[in-house]
Structure 1
């Protein structure tokens, strides 16, 4: 049955197209013959064909609608070679990490065969963050290699969150092109069909940012700060709104937005900050943060400036943008019997009498060993004892091997016969024959100190033995000339002795059960800090525990207990035996509601575990554990040597004492390090307030966070990116946190 063809005409600049819809194809018309229309009436033939085609199209459309739900989606074929090709258009220079850059995609099509685009552009942008694609104006068709081509362009803006060489996956686009043609009634009709074009991959290089200053906010782009007040003549006790606006183009998903602003103590903040703004696109925004402040005293004040350090990708350097400071003259409030709209808070209470005194001078703390070094040193005792045990067992197995003497005798026999074959003088020949008899007795496992020929069972060996006896003990009895040759043949016919069996090393007689028990115990000890370490150089300021203590005390005086708890906890970890750091950390932890070590934080010194932990800093406990490990190696190594008979049994008392003291001391040192948790590592950091742990270094909504970290949570900083730090908790969970939310325990 013939398949009718439905045609649809679509206007295109400069040409018409025929679109083939789902249905049945019509074969080309046959040559005129009997029963066909005469050539003299072409108008009747055309009208008849048009009617038939219209009826077929209607039937095909109805059939397609009825079976669309049941039929699977058709597989779109790729375009023929040379019809469509796609490529990405990258910037002229490598973009910086976090820089917004323009990314292009160009489809080069054969203008004679192309009809139109169909559907949306398909592309997975990972690892880029992009906006939607925009269609570029159509370029002028141009000749190329004997055909006419045109460029269909798309553009978007993108940001790469990480530096390095990245791979852009191919993009796909469905197009309608001319797939063939047929002729009917002298008219050539082009048929079109869909093809799925696939672009080439691209590998742009993203430049890493230069070393950032400590004040870097993570913003990369062009930004402007502005500061405004809603009142020009503020009065005491009357609220006013201070608005700071940040606008510009940049990596908005990669930093925290409007920076914090300084505020004199003569002003009170009412309520929470309010944010508003307009979002032109993903990378163009204007965000305003407003706070309501109330002056408490009259006078002249300067609010600001509000500053923010950004990276300018066009200049390739960091710079500081600022909203200028604003001078305000606060007027005294008018006397009124009415209740004011706002009741100012009382003046700050004097410093808490519970606070310990401030300290002077500089405190020098020492950072603990890196996690990788610490884990390696914990494994050294077990590895050392295992190697010693294996060496002693191997030596014992070799010495007690029953075939060892036969192997040595076989080697000596071969050397002896080689010398005899060279024709030595008479005294040397007699000595060599005696050596042959001695080694032959060992090789044949005769078991007699002076064997005779009758004891030897093999006929050829018995004859050789008899001829050797005649030569040695007879009168003028020379050794037959072919004796060395026959002796060598007999030795070769007997074959070599059994080789040393390596499995004998593991025989019960060669192993010490006490060593096996020791290795099982040592292998079962967990390493509290077993992950890989990113080495960081601690600065002198970060290891100044007196400075940390004073910063925590100053925060406590300002009733900023979360920040006070962070610095006080760090000071106590660095100097746990100081009475001042212990008192401040205990008070700040209680006031800030820090849960302690059980909740993933620092140990609190007012419980039994904290009192034990506070006897030494983390590095001190590490040295105790390593000293115990050395005693364990020495003690159990001595017991192994005694068990294998290499040292006198009198040394067993030393071995038992050293092993016992080392095991107990090493266990105590390991427990002390474990009680400090994640803080016993150079890359430790503590959160000073509640903060969300996000899966990516972007400001995702808080419900999408992995979890919300409580104040005082300690983790390991594994990596950093544009103002973010990758934090790994003690339970293995990891995510990204703003760098400003963390306080390093041992330094940046």
Structure 2
């Protein structure tokens, strides 16, 4: 019989027994002492966080060390995902010490970390593979607050600020508008820039930021470093947009260490985030027939060289378009006509863009005309229409007509057929585009024929359905009522704490008290000085003024963002400044009346109870995980590379990069949208339609995904009836596309939670723990849950197989086979139409088995399919 190896408890008991006998002077087994001596060092091996707890600064880069005692990791340890904490690339350090003839070896991984939310952070316990086996790391807990800059007591907002600015709040569709980024840091704290400006400009396309232009300014007795950077952007589609904030890391000096020549500054790195931008993009007015989409300011030149030539000698006709505008949307120059007595060498366009910009360039096209007959020929003017965004009107520029004289040549040239008729040709590369694109005939996919199913090797029993009453009781008993109520309560508290208007409401209430105190203080400066200072402090909080001692210009600019009464408040602020710091320490007689009137006119929205259902409040751990994954995901660099390739016209490289991004993050609907664009640029409309369908199913409410789905159906000809109805959004499909299938499933979960909450309220009222409001509230929650569940169930039924997580799109016509092979010619097959939607049942060596709504199933090659969610 095989013996089992001794357990750890057995060896531990043996070691303890051997140690007791050794201390008592009795003989002990030699193997017990040997094991005891070898076991002690093993007990010293551990992994811990250093520091194991404490406080971290919000948006401040700090260091946490993962310390290995008498061991080292086998490979890079996989850290757990921590909500609200971003880990950077670690550094390494090692140390060996000898104390009392005992050698201790320490290895540490030093991680730069940055908290991204103001909440307690817990790093959960996890295991690490080391050269001494698997060891466990204990949990660590940290609090997050507004860390002061060094020991100054000032927050980062008191020391530095960043802002995005645009000259006007509304632009035309396609107009190129400037964007300015301004960085303001107090000089004595500024050390250096920690990173370049990071700005996600979508839905706009933008140039690269210019280099920083640093300068210094004296603001209220304090020297500031001002750095300005600019870029230009353009948005093609009209609408109302919110452009995302820009971010940047800066290094701040918070003191020094050392002495004399060895003094060196202590530096802290902080993250700054600017404001967002609200922008209205206006649709262009009705356009003239010759307008091709150019928006901006352009010049147009036509040149013919030479004007006199012999038969057979070439004449070059050059057109050049130059200027500033929406060059990414321009495809070519207008058409021009020439007599058929010329042989025409088709032109090749040459586009030259100014370095580092998308919106300044030149488009030149040369046509070579070879005359076949002598005579005098007139080359008519060429007209180009564009929309002038400065004046808001359409303008047309025309070239001067040219007269070319052709003399008889020594060598005759054979004239082309139909000599004398005018020839019209287009300069738009690569081939002339018709005014209305020819769309393929829309053909609905034909359901495949039934194929033989696979045989069943074993018997299989089914589960009989239970009665409806039993099913309802099981569902109610399985609901977790306590955590649900706690969850909703915490979501409401979080919503109130994070309400951006809360501090403004508190400041408005404090202003009332300060004005009342001012009215009772009298006219003596010593009496009204303190309440007047509090009035200024609460006014700065009410209007979110970023500086502790702002000037009148900053006060006016900050108030103007919230109210039209900025002039009155600015005047009140200036008069308060003069009363506090000027020679005449007195307020105007009507100051209090004007201040109370201005405060009474301020309207601040109250807390919205429905905001607790926002994802950031109801599911904060998912939003934090999304932010952390977005910050750390390696796909960002690929997205940048893909965007750059797309802008320079390398659509194949952009396709490869976005395909990898979709493979890594299949639920990224923006990447699917971009991949569809790159495929469409290569006339791969069927594949583009498949990826645009996936983007629509992940975000059905976005205008861009609805437009993509409609365009993909039109240009590819894959007219799946269900997708056609979803693209139209009429009738029941209008309700279904209010949310994606995944969101409707979450709505079902929310409906179940509302029913559980209603039951909790009824139970509490039955036990007389709450007042009479419980029953109507429970009935309201039940009604809302029924409506929500009904809408979700109905919408998921409308989506059908499109709501299945394993749904795939057949992007080209193929053959459905009964077995996964092409070698067997005797098997049953059926044609499978492009545009069909099916569900993956299983895969096998490059083949996928599909299941269709009618019960049909069969095998197709993997390359014929595009997953809609995976």
TM-score, structure 1 as length reference: 0.39
With structure 2 as the length reference, what TM-score do the two structures score? 0.34
Higher alpha-carbon Rg: 1
Greater relative CO (CA pairs within 8 A, separation 6+): 1
